[in-house]
Chains A and B, each alone.
Chain A
Amino acid sequence: MSTPLLSVRDLHVEIDTSRGLLKAIRGVSLDVNAGDSLGIVGESGSGKSITLKAILGLLPKNARVTSGEIHVDGVDLATLSEKARRALLSEKIGIVFQDAIAALNPVMRIGVQIAEVPHRRLGWSKEKSHARAIELMELVGIPEAEKRFSLYPHQLSGGLRQRVAIAIALSGNPQLIFCDEPTTALDVTIQAQVLRLLMELRVKERTGLVFVTHDLAVVNEICDEINVMYAGRFVESGSVANTFQRPSHPYTYSLLKSAPDVDHQSERLFSISGETADLTKPVTGCPFAPRCFATTQLCSENEPALLAQASSFSACHHASNFTEKIPAGHFSQGTQGKARS
C-alpha cells in the first residue's frame, strides 16, 4: 500500500481556558488517501474543527498539540522547520472554511486573491496566473468569470463567495481539501451546487476530502467514511453505508435517531438528554455514559478504546449488543418508518 496523503497518530490538543486546562483532543488517529472522502461529525465542542486546525498548525494562541504524530505525504511534520512545514502544508492541503467572507481579503479583488498562490508560490508569470484564476473560477461555477475577476468579496453573494474560497483552496493544486462546515451558512440549493462541485473534484482530480460538519445527511451524500467525534475522541469510525445502517456506538445510534430526515415524517424526534462532557475535568470512564441508554457499571470505570467491530470501529464496551439494552419506549414514536437499526 502506498503512503497515505495524510496520516495522524494519537493526536492530543490542550487549550488553556478561564475554567482551566481543557483537553480538547484526546487521541485522534486518521488516514486519508487520494480520492478518499472522510466525514467528521459531532456536536459543537466535540473537537472537530480543532482537529483540522491542529493538523494545519492554525491553533489559537492558547492551544497546543501536546503529543501525537502528523505525517503529510510521508513526511513527519515534527522534523521540519516552521517554514518548511508551512510550505509543505500549503502545497498539499487546501482549506475551505464555513465563513467565506471572513476567509477572503475584503480589499483585494477576488481574481487577484485566486491568482496569488500560482503567482507567488508556484512562481508563475502574472499572465499565466491570471489565466489560471479564470480557469479556476469557471471550474467552480462562477459565471462570467472574466467580468467578475476584478470584483471585491462584498460585491458577491454568499454562494459565490464560498465558490471563490473553494477556487483559492484549489489554486495550489492541493491533493487534499479540508472543509470545515463549508455549506452550513448556505441555502440548500446553493449547498447542493457546492457539494456537487466537491464531488466532481474528487472524481476528476482524485482530490482527497476531509469534511467536518454536524449535518449527517450531508455526510451521507458526499462521504465514504465517517468518524463520529465525542468529547475529543472518535467514538465510531467506519464506512458511511455500514455505520448508517448498523451503528455500533450508542452515540451514533442516538445522533442518527435525532436527525430529521426529509424522506420520512415522524411524530417525534429523539433528543439526547444531558450535556456534553466537561473536558476541563479528568475523564473517568466513558464520557458518553451519563447520556447513554445502555450504560453499566463498567462504563463509569473504564474509558473504552476504539476497537474493530463487525462493520466498523467503535469505542463502546457494549458495541456488539447495546441495541438489546434500549429501554422500551426510549426511542418511542420517533422510529416509525425509519428502518435503520
Chain B
Amino acid sequence: MSDIVLSASNLSKHFVGKQSLIGKLRGKEPLSVPAVDGVDLSMPAGSTIGLVGESGCGKSTLGRTLVGLYPSSGGSLSLFDRQIGNDRSLEERRAVQMIFQDPYSSLNPRMKVGDMLEEILLFHKLADKESVQKRCVELMELVGLPVTALQAYPRQFSGGQRQRIGIARALALEPKILIADEAVSALDVSVQASIVNLLQDLKRDLGLTMLFISHNIAIVRQVSDRIAVMYLGRIVEEGLTSEVFNNPQHPYTKLLLGSVPKMTPGSKLGAAPQGELPTIQARYEGCRFQSRCPIATSACATTDPALIQIGSKDHQAACINL
C-alpha cells in the first residue's frame, strides 16, 4: 500500500557529547542523549498529524530528523516506499520542507524576499532566468502577500507576514510534505488563526501532507487529522484526533489534556502531571512515565511498553495497564 508518504520505523536520534582525552584513555563511553528513541510514525497522504508533548520531549528533534537537518542515528525512514538514508538527493530534500517557529531569525535579514526565493528556485532548477520572476509572483499570491513584498527586506514585515514568507520559502521547492515546527507559537491569537487557515488551505489545494508540531494543544486539535503524543523520545499514544481527544488512553495523555485551559464557562483545570519532564537519560528501566504516573505498578519498573492497538479503533497507546 502506498498511501503512506513518509514513514519512520524505530527511528532514533542520539546526540553524542564531546569526550575528554582522559575519558577516552579510560575507555569511558561518551555521553549520549537519546532525544528521539525508537519512534514509529506513518504519515498518510493528505493528512495532518499533530505532534504534541512538553518541551524537551524530542518533538522538534523528530521533526528535524524527518526533514534531514539531523542525520538519524538508527532506524529507518522511507519516502514514498523508498528507503532514504542520511545522504539525501536534491529531489528527496525538496520533498520534505520545514516551516520554523521564529519568523524573525529564520530569514536572512540582508536579502530581499525576491532574491531569496530566486536563489532557491534557480539552485534547484525549478525555474530558469525567464520564468523565475513569474514563479516568485505566484508564490506571493499563494501565501497572500502583495507582489511588492518581493522588493522588501524581512525586517519590513510583521510577524505574521514573515511567517508567510517562511511558508513561501518552503513552498518554492514544491514539497510533498511540510513539517511545521511551532509555526504559529510566536504569533498573536488573531494572526495565529490566519496562518493556521493558510496552512490548511495550502495543504488542501496543493495536496500536501503535514506534520504540525506544537505545544499548543488547542491549535493542534483544530488542524490535525491524527495526533501523536510524545514523551521522553517516544510516541506514547497515536490515533485519530477525535479518538485521542474523546477517549485518551495513556495516563500521560489524560493528564496532558486535562491541564489545557479551556474556553468552556465555569471550567476548572484538571489534575496536571506532578513534577516536570525529567531529563532524558541514556537508558531506561521499564516505562519512561512511571515517575509521574498515577497508575504505575511494580510491573512498570521492568517492562518497557510498546504501542498496542486500542480496541478496534484506529488508535494505539504504549501502557501495560490498559
* CB nearest to B158 among chain A residues: A275
* CB nearest to B257 among chain A residues: A262
Of listed B55, B258, B263, B275, residue having the most chain A CB within 10 A: B263
Task: Write out the residue numbers on chain B whose beta carbons fall within 8 Å of the beta carbon of A261.
Answer: 218, 262-264
Q: Would you call A43 an interface residue if the criterion is a C-beta within 8 Å of the partner chain's C-beta atoms?
A: yes
Q: Would you call B306 an interface residue if the criterion is a C-beta within 8 Å of the partner chain's C-beta atoms?
A: no
Q: Would you call B256 an interface residue if the criterion is a C-beta within 8 Å of the partner chain's C-beta atoms?
A: yes
Kindly specify which of A103-111, A147-155, A201-209, A213-221 makes contact with the partner chain: A213-221
Residue contact A259 to B263, C-beta cutoff 8 Å = yes
Interface residue range, chain B: 35 or more
Q: Distance in Å from the Cβ of A40 to the closest Cβ of chain B?
A: 14
Residue contact B276 to A269, C-beta cutoff 8 Å = no
* CB nearest to A217 among chain B residues: B261
Kindly specify which of B8-16, B97-105, B117-125, B194-202 makes contact with the partner chain: B194-202
Q: Would you call B268 an interface residue if the criterion is a C-beta within 8 Å of the partner chain's C-beta atoms?
A: yes
* CB nearest to A259 among chain B residues: B189
Task: Write out the residue numbers on chain B whose beta carbons fall within 8 Å of the beta carbon of A215.
Answer: 189, 261
Residue contact B277 to A43, C-beta cutoff 8 Å = no
Task: Write out the residue numbers on chain B whose beta carbons fall within 8 Å of the beta carbon of A325.
Answer: none
Encode A48-69 as 1/0 by CB contact (under 8 A) with B: 0000000000000000000000
Q: Would you call A245 an interface residue if the criterion is a C-beta within 8 Å of the partner chain's C-beta atoms?
A: yes
Encode B274-285 as 1/0 by CB contact (under 8 A) with A: 011100000000
Residue contact B266 to A241, C-beta cutoff 8 Å = yes
Partner of B276, one of A43, A159, A218, A271: A159
Kindly specify which of A116-124, A183-191, A297-305 makes contact with the partner chain: A183-191
Residue contact A265 to B242, C-beta cutoff 8 Å = yes
* CB nearest to B271 among chain A residues: A192
Of listed A44, A192, A244, A255, residue having the most chain B CB within 10 A: A192
Of listed B245, B276, B277, residue having the most chain A CB within 10 A: B276
Residue contact A265 to B189, C-beta cutoff 8 Å = no
Partner of A269, one of B197, B260, B272: B197
Task: Write out the residue numbers on chain A whose beta carbons fall within 8 Å of the beta carbon of B264.
Answer: 220, 261, 263
Task: Write out the residue numbers on chain A whose beta carbons fall within 8 Å of the beta carbon of B257.
Answer: 262
Q: Distance in Å from the Cβ of B53 to the closest Cβ of chain A?
A: 9
- In the complex, A269 Cα to B258 Cα: how many Å? 22
Encode B212-243 as 1/0 by CB contact (under 8 A) with A: 00011111011000000000000000000110
Of listed A218, A268, A269, residue having the most chain B CB within 10 A: A269
Residue contact A216 to B189, C-beta cutoff 8 Å = yes
Interface residue range, chain A: 35 or more
Q: Would you call B188 an interface residue if the criterion is a C-beta within 8 Å of the partner chain's C-beta atoms?
A: yes
Partner of A265, one of B188, B221, B272: B221
- In the complex, A256 Cα to B264 Cα: how many Å? 11
- In the complex, A318 Cα to B266 Cα: how many Å? 28
Task: Write out the residue numbers on chain A whose beta carbons fall within 8 Å of the beta carbon of B189.
Answer: 43, 214-216, 255, 258-259
Residue contact B217 to A188, C-beta cutoff 8 Å = yes
- In the complex, A79 Cα to B54 Cα: how many Å? 49
Task: Write out the residue numbers on chain B whose beta carbons fall within 8 Å of the beta carbon of A273.
Answer: 194
- In the complex, A196 Cα to B273 Cα: how many Å? 12
Of listed A187, A189, A241, A266, residue having the most chain B CB within 10 A: A189
Residue contact A260 to B218, C-beta cutoff 8 Å = yes
Residue contact A189 to B272, C-beta cutoff 8 Å = yes
Q: Would you call B131 an interface residue if the criterion is a C-beta within 8 Å of the partner chain's C-beta atoms?
A: no
Residue contact B191 to A271, C-beta cutoff 8 Å = yes
* CB nearest to B252 among chain A residues: A189
Name B's A-contacting residues (CB within 8 A). 54-55, 158, 188-194, 196-197, 200, 215-219, 221-222, 241-242, 245, 255-270, 272-273, 275-277
Given A188-B259, A271-B197: 11 more A-B contacts, CB < 8 Å = A187-B55, A187-B215, A188-B215, A189-B272, A192-B270, A195-B269, A221-B269, A255-B189, A256-B263, A272-B193, A275-B158
Name A's B-contacting residues (CB within 8 A). 43-44, 143, 157-160, 187-193, 195-196, 214-218, 220-221, 240-241, 244-245, 254-256, 258-263, 265-266, 268-273, 275
A-B contact pairs, 9 of them (CB 8 A): A187-B215, A188-B260, A192-B259, A196-B269, A221-B267, A260-B222, A262-B257, A265-B222, A265-B242
